[in-house]
Structure 1
Amino acid sequence: MNWTVYQTVLWIHIFLAINWVGGLLFVGWGIFPALRLFELQDTRRVLRAVMKHSHYLFTFSGTAVILTGVILGTWLGPLDSFEAVWHTTYGNLWFAALIIGIVTLLWGTFIGYPHAMRVLSDNHLWDAAERGDRRPLNRSLVVLVLVESVEGFGFVSLLTLMIML
C-alpha cells in the first residue's frame, strides 16, 4: 500500500513540475519570441492575456510541487526527524530543494508576474514604441527577461538537486 501511495504522489509531483517548469519555459521561449512577429498592440494584448490566465495555474502547480515534495521527503520518505534533515546528505539536499522551490515560487508570484504586468500595462512605453521610439520598451523587456530569468535559475538548481537525490 505505501509503495503505491509513494508512486502516485511521485507521479503527481513530476506531472505538476513538468506543468510548472514547462509552462513557464513555453511562455518565455515559445510565446514571447513568436509575438515579435505581431503588431505591437497585438503582442501586448496576447502576452497580457496569456500571463493573466496562466499565472494562477503556474502558481497552483508550483505550490502543489512543493507540497508533494514535502510529503515525498517526510511522510513517505526517509526524513523522520529534524536530525535527519540536518545530518544526512539526503536531508541537506531535500532542504535546499525546499528553500529553492519556495523562493522560486515566491519570486515568480510576487516579483516576476507583477513586474511583467506593469510593463504590459505601461501605456507610455507602448505608445512611444508605436510612434517609433522602441528603446524604452526594449529596455523594459530586457529588464523583464532578466527578472524572469531568476525563475529559470531556480528551476535549473532544483533539477540539479533532484538528480543528486
Structure 2
Amino acid sequence: MYSIIDAAAQKVAEESKAYSVSVGILKDGKVYTRHFGELDKGKGNKANDDTYFAIASVTKLFTGQLLAQAVLEGKVNLDDDVRKYLKGSYPNLEYNGVPIKIRNLISYETALPRNLPNDDELRKNMTDETPFLYESSTKDIQRRLKKILPQLH
C-alpha cells in the first residue's frame, strides 16, 4: 500500500510544486498515512498524523460522506429538525414556524429569507461588545468532528 501512496504523493508534489504532501487512505478498516516534504520550505518542519491543514471547502466532502453514512445506518434522518441533535431549545433555528432541517443544512439552504440586511446594515448596529451567536475556526470544527465521529460509527 505504501508504494502506491509514495508514487501518488511524489507525482502530486512534482506537478503542484507543493512543499509538503500528506496522503491518507482508509482500506479495510486500516488507516495508511504518509507525509512528504516540509510544511515551511527550508525549516525542516515535517507534517505528521497530528498536523492540521486548512482544507477550506473540501470539508463539505467529508461532512457529506459522514452524513450519508449516518443516514444509511439510520442514525440521522434528513428531514429531522436540526435541534434534535443539539442540546438546548434554539427557538431561532426556524423561519416562519418552519424548522431548519438536516436536509437544508447539507444543501446550504436554511429557509431563511434571501433579503437579509447587507453587511453595512448589520455593522452600523454592532459594537465591539456585540456577541456573536457562534464563532468557530477550522480547529474548532475539527475538534467537534472528532467528538461526534464515535457517535456516527
TM (norm. structure 1) is 0.27
Whichever of the two has the greater Rg, that structure is 2
Between Structure 1 and Structure 2, the one with more helix by share is 1
Between Structure 1 and Structure 2, the one with more strand by share is 2
- Structure showing greater relative contact order (alpha-carbon pairs closer than 8 Å, 6 or more residues apart): 1
